[in-house]
Amino acid sequence: MSHQVTQEHGQHSKFHIIINAREHEVPGQKISYREVVNLAFPGDPGEILYSVHYVAPHQPDGTLAEGQSVEVENGMKCDVTPTNRS
């Protein structure tokens, strides 16, 4: 089974990524900090700060902060944890 859907010209329209050990299908080629947090913790009011770390097959490991986004790859893994910073 293929984990990618393609549009014309071979561009991906949906990607399969893992967030906190759960698979999610996401549209588009980028995902923001807030989108990752919302997938990890649906219904979060946005008042809690989270630490977002990611690993991807073809790019360096990294972190996301509020206001940032990252290019999405199939098989990308994100770990999202609440922080104790205010």
CATH code of residue 54 = 3.10.20
Q: Residue 68 has what DSSP assignment?
A: -
pLDDT at residue 8 above 50? no
- pTM equals 0.81
Can you give the pLDDT at residue 58? 94
**Cα–Cα distance, 84 to 86 (Å, whole number):** 7
Q: pLDDT, tens digit, for every residue of 14-72?
A: 999 999 999 999 999 999 999 999 999 998 777 889 999 999 999 999 999 999 999 99
CB 78 within 8 A of CB 24: no
Residue 41 structural domain: 5-82
Amino acid 25: pLDDT? 97
**Closest to 51 (Cα-Cα) out of 41, 60, 43, 59:** 41
In this prediction, residue 85 carries a pLDDT of 62
- Overall number of domains in the chain: 1
